[in-house]
Amino acid sequence: MSLPHLSLADARNLHLAAQGLLNKPRRRASLEDIPATISRMSLLQIDTINIVARSPYLVLFSRLGNYPAQWLDESLARG
């Protein structure tokens, strides 16, 4: 039995798709997308460093597009 072959491009696409970064968001983000996106990633590291914005907000922005930052705060407050 031979091992399956995965090209470098396919491996990159697989990794980006698993992280939710392969495709642009298809629609405008909603409040429910915040916990769903965190769940898909399994975790969201809360980091206090603030250069452009705190990293959890940038991580979600890269997956959801523009969204109100208070949505993350509200989602975290709800648990």
Residue numbers of the domain that contains 65: 29-79
Residue-wise pLDDT tens for the chain (79 aa)? 788 899 999 999 999 998 889 998 889 999 999 999 999 888 888 777 667 677 888 899 999 999 999 999 999 898 7
Q: What is the pLDDT of residue 79?
A: 79
- Report whether 75 contacts 60 (CB < 8 A): no
Q: Is 24 domain-assigned?
A: no
Three-class SS of residue 54? strand
Q: Is 51 domain-assigned?
A: yes
Q: Is 69 domain-assigned?
A: yes
Tell me the whole-structure pTM to 2 decimals: 0.69
The count of structural domains within the chain is: 1
Q: What is the pLDDT of residue 52?
A: 65
Q: What is the pLDDT of residue 66?
A: 93
Amino acid, single-letter form, for residue 76? L
